[in-house]
Amino acid sequence: MRTGQERQQITLEAVALHAHVSRQTISNALNAPHRLAPDTLARAKRSIDTLGYRPNQAARSLRTLSSQLIGFRIEPDRDGINGAVLDRFLHALCRAAKFEDYHLLLFTASDDASEIDGYDELLRGRAVDAFVLSSTHQGDERTRWLTERSLPFVTFGRPWGETDPQHAWVDVDGAAGTEAAVEHLIRRGHRRIAFIGWPPGSGVGDDRHTGWRRAVLANGLPQQGLAVRGEDGVESGRALAAKLLDLVQPPSGLVCASDSLALGALRAVADRGLVAGRDTAVVGFDDTPVAMAVAPGLTSIRQPVEDAASAIVRLLAERLSGVRVPPAGELIVPTLIERGSS
Amino acid sequence: MRTGQERQQITLEAVALHAHVSRQTISNALNAPHRLAPDTLARAKRSIDTLGYRPNQAARSLRTLSSQLIGFRIEPDRDGINGAVLDRFLHALCRAAKFEDYHLLLFTASDDASEIDGYDELLRGRAVDAFVLSSTHQGDERTRWLTERSLPFVTFGRPWGETDPQHAWVDVDGAAGTEAAVEHLIRRGHRRIAFIGWPPGSGVGDDRHTGWRRAVLANGLPQQGLAVRGEDGVESGRALAAKLLDLVQPPSGLVCASDSLALGALRAVADRGLVAGRDTAVVGFDDTPVAMAVAPGLTSIRQPVEDAASAIVRLLAERLSGVRVPPAGELIVPTLIERGSS
DNA sequence: ATGCCTGGTGTGAACGATCAAATCCACATG
DNA sequence: CATGTGGATTTGATCGTTCACACCAGGCAT
């Protein structure tokens, strides 16, 4: 005697008996309703409802070679403060997947190599149909490995550094985000608008830098010496902002590549007896929960992860439908959430 | 022609052929190695390795009535700032599950009722073997529903308000946490130690309040008027702390029920020109990322979610092993992370 | 009337694993 | 020598679904 789960499963056979039709007819009622005569369909559906039938996933999976599961690796949230975006994304992905009758299967891995082992394991056992990858980076081994085997997957993140992408991806247009931030500050009357970002080399960081640069140049604003870059983090942001604010001609607007940096910038502003939002404007990136919680409210660029998630699922569904689809990418424009800091 | 996933699956039959034994022998090599003669086992294992065989999950699941999947509902992270704990928990749970050869299957639900629908759906289709529930609360419909059907599940969170629990649970001892915080402040020389918490009624909140009260009474410290309670959030914490700091005899130590409240308290301290950690000590709860990021570093009580996760998986594994086990609970003691604020 | 098609429904086989039971073999025992 | 014993291995059946195909009735053209 096992646990309660042992309860007799309601099988296709049982429903067929109840509706006085064959197994296959019930199966068709669910998978190919157009094949049935209207009254047969109605009868079948009624029996399905009254008996509360759900097809056994294992049996279906065994026969159709599809588990209706999408693999996703959650990573140990590194900095912590930015993990919130991935958290929102995970939730959105889960909801989006449900629309296509997919579920998410989670697994962990400490690095890319063991993530690949995870793929291998899951695929060999036919446990998942496809993967969603997050946090793509330059020379990503994972995408290469999956592409070589022509396995279905979509990345949340561009194929950084690849001239012509070999796979499907969805990403948020970081440059458009920082660009919007600059435009926003210009409308607020700012002229000297600086950028606080990460060291060159990271795709995401460079992208956000590009947006600032583009907007500043397009509007004929000063640019010289107004871009400072250092590692992510509150303390780092404070130091970088301090350097800017202590210039002979300090900027009045600070566009940051992350909320962590922006938090630090806010502190540097306060350190100097200035008031954020009145004397100096600060804009963050990612609209993490702290952005709302912090003192005057931090204006921040919000990634529309819900849109990204549905785009990803859509691309995935195409790729799983059977027809071979060429690699495709989608850039989603983020939105600026205005708060007290600007 | 479908996608690359179509690659011929390596089947038990194929491995058996390769090792010159029968299907069942290979199966035994994996599931019941003790039944095989040493040399046969070695041969079987060698063949398994060279062919890179993994049992087809669907087939195994169909036959054994177990999917090796644990269902977990992720909720739209409400306040956001505390979502970080659930995030860490999710990760830990994923790792712990792997030890017992389980994976996590995620699903979403907007409320408890639709969460129950989710259970029903997944169980009817035999998609999962068990569930892990988080955020239990008073009069939880979900646990009742699952218990009634004697389905295997474990909650992360006590069965609040139930006299004798009907199910397995694991929780973090919040009272022990706040108690430790008070003891810590006493060692630092504080005598007037206040508590900032949530309104009475929530199990978690009352638990944390209890710990403070217990420690204060045990050490003969003043208690009158030193417990203030209001909704969670930074602003709320600021207001509540302000009230305490403006007393004729203000407390020198503030123990808070959350990092959000503590963040507000820090601000109230600064508002009055006091220095946190020197003049007034502040302790938070949950050790969210902001605790480390904030000004002098926020001392906070950290929930050992890794321990909780392994305990949960252990309880679950027991319940899934076949033998009927009585309801059991486990309380895990949190640890105090000391930082600049105390 | 015969044949062909088409839409609707039923039948047998197959997916790949494990369970239960049968078989085989070596060895000890009466 | 026959019989029993227990360990090691194999065989057949089975889990619940969908696929491929067979069947059947009726309409239409020949």
In contact, B283 and B184? CB cutoff 8 Å: yes
Q: What is the pLDDT of residue A78?
A: 60
Q: Is A8 exposed, middle or buried (0-12, 13-18, 19+ CB in 10 A)?
A: exposed
SS3 assignment, position A289 = helix
Q: Stretch B281-291: mean pLDDT, rounded?
A: 90
Identify each DSSP E strand in chain A by its residue range. 69-74, 103-108, 130-134, 153-156, 168-172, 193-197, 227-229, 253-256, 281-285, 299-302, 329-332, 335-337
Contact partners, residue B98, CB within 8 Å, separation at least 6: A107, A108
Dist CA B271 CA B269 (whole Å): 5
Name the residue range of residue A104's domain: 69-172+305-332
Q: How many domains does chain A have?
A: 3
Residue for token pair 């529930």 = B133
Q: Give yes or no: residues A309 and A298 share one domain.
A: no
Q: Give yes or no: residues B101 and B154 share one domain.
A: yes
* d(CA A300, nearest CA chain B) in Å: 15
Residue for token pair 């217990």 = B214
Q: Give yes or no: residues B186 and B196 share one domain.
A: yes
The token pair that represents B268 in the structure block: 């109230």
Dist CA A198 CA A205 (whole Å): 6
H-run or E-run covering B236: helix B234-245
Dist CA A264 CA A63 (whole Å): 56
Kindly state whether residue B57 falls inside one of the protein's structural domains. Answer: no
Beta strands A103-108 and B103-108, pairing class: antiparallel
Does residue A231 sit at the B interface (CB-CB below 8 Å)? Answer: no
**CA distances for B123 relative to B12, B315, B316, angstroms:** 28, 20, 16
Kindly state whether residue B339 falls inside one of the protein's structural domains. Answer: no
Inter-chain touch B57–A127, beta carbons under 8 Å: yes
The token pair that represents A46 in the structure block: 């009624």
Q: Give yes or no: residues A180 and A293 share one domain.
A: yes
Q: What is the pLDDT of residue A239?
A: 96
Inter-chain touch B74–A58, beta carbons under 8 Å: no
Q: Give yes or no: residues A291 and A318 share one domain.
A: no
Q: How confident is the model at residue A3 (pLDDT cuts 50, 70, 90)?
A: very low
Q: What is the mean pLDDT of chain B?
A: 92
Kindly state whether residue B91 falls inside one of the protein's structural domains. Answer: yes
Dist CA A37 CA B152 (whole Å): 41
Dist CA A340 CA B171 (whole Å): 39
Q: Stretch B41-51: mean pLDDT, rounded?
A: 96
Beta strands B299-302 and B253-256, pairing class: unpaired
In contact, B146 and B167? CB cutoff 8 Å: yes
Give me the sheet containing A227-229, strands edge to edge: A227-229, A193-197, A253-256, A281-285, A299-302, A335-337
A59 touches strand D (CB under 7 A): yes
Q: Compute the half-sphere exposure of residue B61: CA atoms within 13 Å on the CB side of its CA.
A: 24
Kindly state whether residue A150 falls inside one of the protein's structural domains. Answer: yes
The token pair that represents A238 in the structure block: 């404070």
Dist CA B105 CA B123 (whole Å): 12
Q: Stretch B65-69: mean pLDDT, rounded?
A: 96
Q: What is the pLDDT of residues A157-185, one digit of tens each?
A: 999 988 888 999 999 999 999 999 999 99
Dist CA B316 CA B172 (whole Å): 17
What is the radius of gyration, based on Cα positions, of chain A?
26
Which residues between 309 and 328 in chain A have a beta carbon less than 8 angstroms from any beta carbon of chain B?
Answer: 319-320, 322, 324
pLDDT at A246 over 50: yes
Q: How far is CA B42 from the centre of its chain?
A: 41
Q: Give yes or no: residues A279 and A311 share one domain.
A: no
CATH number of the domain that residue B117 is part of: 3.40.50.2300
Measure the CA angle with vertex B108, ends B105 and B111; round to 5°.
135
Give me the sheet containing B299-302, strands edge to edge: B227-229, B193-197, B253-256, B281-285, B299-302, B335-337
The token pair that represents A202 in the structure block: 């990271």
Q: Give yes or no: residues B85 and B148 share one domain.
A: yes
Q: Give yes or no: residues A227 and A311 share one domain.
A: no
* d(CA A81, nearest CA chain B) in Å: 6
CATH number of the domain that residue B34 is part of: 1.10.260
CATH number of the domain that residue A39 is part of: 1.10.260.40
Q: Stretch A7-28: mean pLDDT, rounded?
A: 92
In contact, B256 and B282? CB cutoff 8 Å: yes
Dist CA B10 CA B16 (whole Å): 11
Q: What is the pLDDT of residue A322?
A: 74
Contact positions of strand D to protein Cβ (< 7 A): 7-12, 14-20
Percent of chain B with pLDDT over 70: 96
Inter-chain touch A53–B77, beta carbons under 8 Å: no
Least confident of A140-149, B212-221, B284-293: B284-293
Kindly state whether residue A61 falls inside one of the protein's structural domains. Answer: no
Q: What is the pLDDT of residue B78?
A: 60
Q: What is the pLDDT of residue B233?
A: 86
pLDDT at A2 over 60: no
Dist CA B129 CA B151 (whole Å): 9
Q: Give yes or no: residues A198 and A290 share one domain.
A: yes
In contact, B107 and A94? CB cutoff 8 Å: yes
A57 → closest Cβ in B95, B126, B292: B126
Measure the CA angle with vertex B147, ends B141 and B153; round to 5°.
95
A59 → closest Cβ in B4, B62, B322: B62
* d(CA B191, nearest CA chain A) in Å: 30
Q: How far is CA A219 from the centre of its chain?
A: 31
Interface test with A, best of B107, B154, B290, B292 (most A CBs within 10 A): B290
The token pair that represents B241 in the structure block: 């702390």
Dist CA B199 CA B206 (whole Å): 8
Kindly state whether residue A199 falls inside one of the protein's structural domains. Answer: yes
The single-letter DSSP state of residue B33 is G
Does residue A95 sit at the B interface (CB-CB below 8 Å)? Answer: yes
Question: Residue B225 region, left (φ>0) first, then alpha (ψ -120 to 50), else beta?
Answer: left
Q: What is the pLDDT of residue A1?
A: 33
Q: What is the pLDDT of residues A92-107, one digit of tens each?
A: 999 999 999 999 999 9
Inter-chain touch B104–A106, beta carbons under 8 Å: yes
In contact, A154 and A319? CB cutoff 8 Å: yes
Angstrom distance, A69 CA to D20 C1'? 27
Q: What is the DSSP string of B149-201?
A: TT--EEEES--TT-SS--SEEEEE-HHHHHHHHHHHHHHTT---EEEEEPPTT
Q: How confident is the model at residue A7 (pLDDT cuts 50, 70, 90)?
A: low
Residue for token pair 């009868």 = A43
SS3 assignment, position B285 = strand
B55 contacts on A by Cβ (under 8 Å): 125
The token pair that represents B270 in the structure block: 């600064």
Dist CA A125 CA A117 (whole Å): 12
Q: Is A209 exposed, middle or buried (0-12, 13-18, 19+ CB in 10 A)?
A: buried
B10 contacts on A by Cβ (under 8 Å): 124
Q: Give yes or no: residues B143 and B219 share one domain.
A: no
pLDDT at B8 over 90: no
Q: How confident is the model at residue A117 (pLDDT cuts 50, 70, 90)?
A: very high
pLDDT at A194 over 80: yes
Give me the sheet containing B103-108, strands edge to edge: A329-332, A168-172, A153-156, A130-134, A69-74, A103-108, B103-108, B69-74, B130-134, B153-156, B168-172, B329-332
Q: How confident is the model at residue B77 (pLDDT cuts 50, 70, 90)?
A: low
Q: What is the pLDDT of residue B5?
A: 43
pLDDT at B2 over 60: no
Q: How confident is the model at residue B296 (pLDDT cuts 50, 70, 90)?
A: confident
Q: Is A214 exposed, middle or buried (0-12, 13-18, 19+ CB in 10 A)?
A: middle
Counting every residue, how long is chain B? 342
Q: What is the pLDDT of residues B82-109, one digit of tens each?
A: 577 888 899 999 999 999 999 999 999 9
Q: How confident is the model at residue A8 (pLDDT cuts 50, 70, 90)?
A: confident
Of the candidates A302, A174, A204, A180, the residue with the CA atom closest to the CA atom of residue A253: A180
Of the candidates A31, A56, A57, the residue with the CA atom closest to the CA atom of residue A45: A31
The token pair that represents B254 in the structure block: 């503030």
Residues 8-47 of A with CB under 7 A from strand D: 9, 11-13, 23-24, 27, 30-31
Q: How confident is the model at residue B4 (pLDDT cuts 50, 70, 90)?
A: very low
Per CA to C1' distance, which residue is closest to D13? Answer: B63
Kindly state whether residue B192 falls inside one of the protein's structural domains. Answer: yes
Residue for token pair 């850039």 = A331
Inter-chain touch B61–A65, beta carbons under 8 Å: no
Angle between helical axes of A12-19 and A38-51 (0-180°, round to 10)? 120
Q: Give yes or no: residues B77 and B154 share one domain.
A: yes
Q: Give yes or no: residues A239 and A211 share one domain.
A: yes
Kindly state whether residue B277 falls inside one of the protein's structural domains. Answer: yes
